[in-house]
């Protein structure tokens, strides 16, 4: 309320101005009110003093409230900045976890493909091993047949040596030596065959090489047959010549020289047969060496296969352990993210409640003080509202940047 004092000795009338404020930015409407009865100067002074005291007290309270509001706004801004930083950190952590997950998934797909390839290779190798086992069984049957043929040939050779013993003691001694050598070779061959029969699984890759050995056996058989035929022819010739010599022993003395020549020829033939037997022995030795080398190579391949199988199993166990650890880490990270999201929700709810309480308090003060505020108070309110608008604009800009 403002008093209009008179000039000179004119009578004065107290006039009151009432400021009706509908909104903060609305213009003020000044109304002139006249009291029903005039007041004395003392009463007017007392009322003015009372109004001044009340306005001063209200100004102090409003200043304190503005300070408290500014402090609360600064605290809220600091909290919001911290929350924004935490959100940015959480988003970075989430992105990093997603990148790690994608990398681990790619690694797992690669490992699965490698395992599939290895499984396919193992299946193929098992099939090849089965086929080779079948082929080895066939080769063993062929070897048994060849052994039977060799036994028959040996018996024939023994019979032929018995016939040759009648030709002379020297020939018998030489033939006995060769027979002993052949028997020793036969014993070695039998021992090797027993070893090979025990290691049937080790003859998987012997099909092509066994064909060469078959050809060698066939050549040996052909040579033996030729020699047998030659021996039979020689025996027949000797028998015929012996008969002729016995008939013509008394008539022709020169026949003794022919007989000696025939004996020399026979001895040369026997030496030739001995050389052929030596050649056959060398061929058998070569065959035995080849078989031994094949068995050694097969054993080495089996050792390599076992080592590779062990390495594959160890790799599979290691990758399974890594996969389990990754799953555990992912589960823990998801749980932590859920907890952080729940904490954010609680903080947002608390901020909303605080804002609503502050708005209610401000509305109450505005409703109580609209009738009592003066022009200075209006200016202060406008300043505070202007500051609030600036803060709201800053917040909107920050949200738009996010």
Looking at residue 351, what is its pLDDT? 78
Report yes or no: 31 and 20 within 8 Å, Cβ to Cβ.
yes
Partners of 32 in the β-ladder = 17
Looking at residue 1, what is its pLDDT? 40
Characterize 365-374 residue by residue with b for buried, 16 or more Cβ atoms within 10 angstroms of its Cβ, and e for exposed.
eeeeeeeebe
The total of other beta-carbon atoms located within 10 Å of residue 39's CB is 12
How many whole angstroms separate alpha carbon 203 and alpha carbon 133?
7
Q: Which of 57-61, 82-86, 239-243, 245-249 has the lowest mean pLDDT?
A: 245-249
pTM of the predicted structure, to 2 decimals: 0.24
Question: What is the band of 293 on the pLDDT scale with cuts at 50, 70, 90?
Answer: confident
Of the ranges 198-202, 335-339, 374-378, which is most confident? 335-339
The helix/strand/coil state of 237 is: helix
Closest CA to 232 of 154, 157, 150: 157
Partners of 17 in the β-ladder = 32
Rounded mean pLDDT, 118-145: 77
DSSP 202: G
How many whole angstroms separate alpha carbon 20 and alpha carbon 323?
75
The helix/strand/coil state of 106 is: helix
The helix/strand/coil state of 31 is: strand
CA distances from residue 189 to 18, 204, 257, 291, 292 in whole angstroms, order as listed: 136, 20, 45, 11, 12
Q: Which of 13-17, 78-82, 331-335 has the lowest mean pLDDT?
A: 13-17
Q: Which of 77-81, 109-113, 172-176, 275-279 has the lowest mean pLDDT?
A: 172-176
Of the ranges 63-72, 110-119, 158-167, 203-212, which is most confident? 63-72
Residue ranges per structural domain of the chain: 131-319
Concatenate the DSSP letters of all residues of 83-152 into one string.
HHHHHHHHHHHHHHHHHHHHHHHHHHHHHHHHHHHHHHHHHHHHHHHHHHHHHHHHHHHHHHHHHHHHHH
Rounded mean pLDDT, 366-381: 62
How many degrees, rounded to 5, is the angle at CA 185 between CA 184 and CA 189?
120
Looking at residue 5, what is its pLDDT? 43
How many whole angstroms separate alpha carbon 33 and alpha carbon 378?
22
- Looking at per-residue pLDDT, the higher value among 118 and 177 belongs to 118
- Is residue 209's pLDDT more than 80? no
Rounded mean pLDDT, 333-353: 78
Question: What is the band of 116 on the pLDDT scale with cuts at 50, 70, 90?
Answer: confident
Each residue's pLDDT tens digit, 310-329: 887 787 787 778 777 777 87
Structure tokens given for 291? 């078989």
Of the ranges 168-172, 193-197, 227-231, 346-350, which is most confident? 346-350
Report yes or no: 172 and 164 within 8 Å, Cβ to Cβ.
yes
How many whole angstroms separate alpha carbon 239 and alpha carbon 233?
10
Looking at residue 301, what is its pLDDT? 79
Closest CA to 19 of 277, 377, 390: 377
Closest CA to 375 of 59, 7, 43, 4: 59
- Is residue 228's pLDDT more than 70? no
- Is residue 279's pLDDT more than 50? yes
Q: Environment class of residue 288 by beta-carbon count within 10 Å: exposed (0-12), middle (13-18) or buried (19+)?
A: middle
Each residue's pLDDT tens digit, 2-48: 444 444 444 444 444 444 334 444 444 434 344 444 567 888 888 88
Of the ranges 63-72, 202-211, 364-373, which is most confident? 63-72
H or E element that contains 264: helix 255-369
Percent of the chain with pLDDT over 70: 55
Looking at residue 21, what is its pLDDT? 38
Report yes or no: 149 and 220 within 8 Å, Cβ to Cβ.
no
Looking at residue 47, what is its pLDDT? 86
Looking at residue 124, what is its pLDDT? 82
Rounded mean pLDDT, 167-177: 61
Looking at residue 242, what is its pLDDT? 64
Residue with token string 């066994």:
210
Q: Where are the beta strands (DSSP E) in 119-203?
A: none
């Amino acid at each position: 309320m403002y008093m209009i004092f008179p000039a000179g000795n004119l009578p004065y009338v107290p006039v009151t101005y009432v400021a009706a404020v509908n909104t903060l930015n609305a213009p003020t409407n000044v109304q002139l009110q006249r009291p029903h009865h005039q007041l004395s100067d003392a009463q007017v002074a007392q009322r003015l003093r009372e109004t001044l005291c009340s306005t001063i007290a209200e100004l102090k309270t409003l200043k304190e409230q503005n300070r408290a509001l500014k402090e609360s706004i600064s605290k809220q801004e600091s909290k919001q900045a911290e929350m924004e930083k935490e959100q940015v950190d959480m988003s970075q952590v989430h992105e990093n976890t997603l990148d790690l997950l994608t990398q681990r998934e790619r690694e797992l797909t690669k490992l699965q493909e490698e395992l599939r390839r290895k499984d396919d290779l193992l299946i193929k190798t098992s099939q090849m091993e089965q086929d080779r086992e079948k082929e080895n069984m066939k080769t063993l049957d062929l070897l048994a047949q060849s052994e039977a043929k060799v036994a028959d040939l040996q018996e024939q050779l023994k019979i032929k040596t018995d016939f040759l013993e009648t030709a002379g003691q020297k020939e018998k001694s030489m033939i006995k030596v060769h027979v002993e050598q052949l028997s020793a070779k036969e014993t070695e061959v039998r021992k090797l065959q027993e070893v090979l029969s025990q290691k049937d699984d080790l003859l998987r890759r012997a099909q092509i090489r066994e064909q060469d050995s078959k050809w060698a056996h066939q050549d040996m058989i052909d040579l033996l047959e030729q020699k047998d035929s030659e021996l039979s022819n020689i025996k027949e010739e000797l028998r015929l010549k012996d008969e002729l010599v016995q008939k013509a022993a008394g008539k022709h003395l020169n026949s003794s020289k022919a007989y000696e020549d025939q004996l020399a020829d026979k001895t040369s033939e026997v030496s030739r047969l001995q050389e052929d037997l030596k050649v056959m022995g060398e061929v058998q030795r070569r065959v035995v060496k080849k078989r031994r080398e094949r068995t050694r190579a097969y054993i080495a391949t089996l050792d390599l296969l076992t080592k590779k199988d062990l390495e594959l199993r160890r790799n599979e166990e290691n990758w399974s352990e890594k996969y389990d650890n990754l799953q555990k880490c992912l589960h823990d990270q998801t749980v932590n993210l859920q907890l952080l999201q729940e904490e954010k929700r609680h903080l947002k709810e608390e901020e909303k409640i605080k804002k609503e309480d502050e708005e209610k308090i401000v509305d109450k003060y505005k409703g109580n003080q609209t009738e009592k505020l003066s022009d200075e108070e209006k200016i202060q309110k406008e300043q505070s509202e202007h500051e609030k608008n600036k803060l709201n604009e800053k917040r909107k800009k920050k949200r738009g940047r996010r």
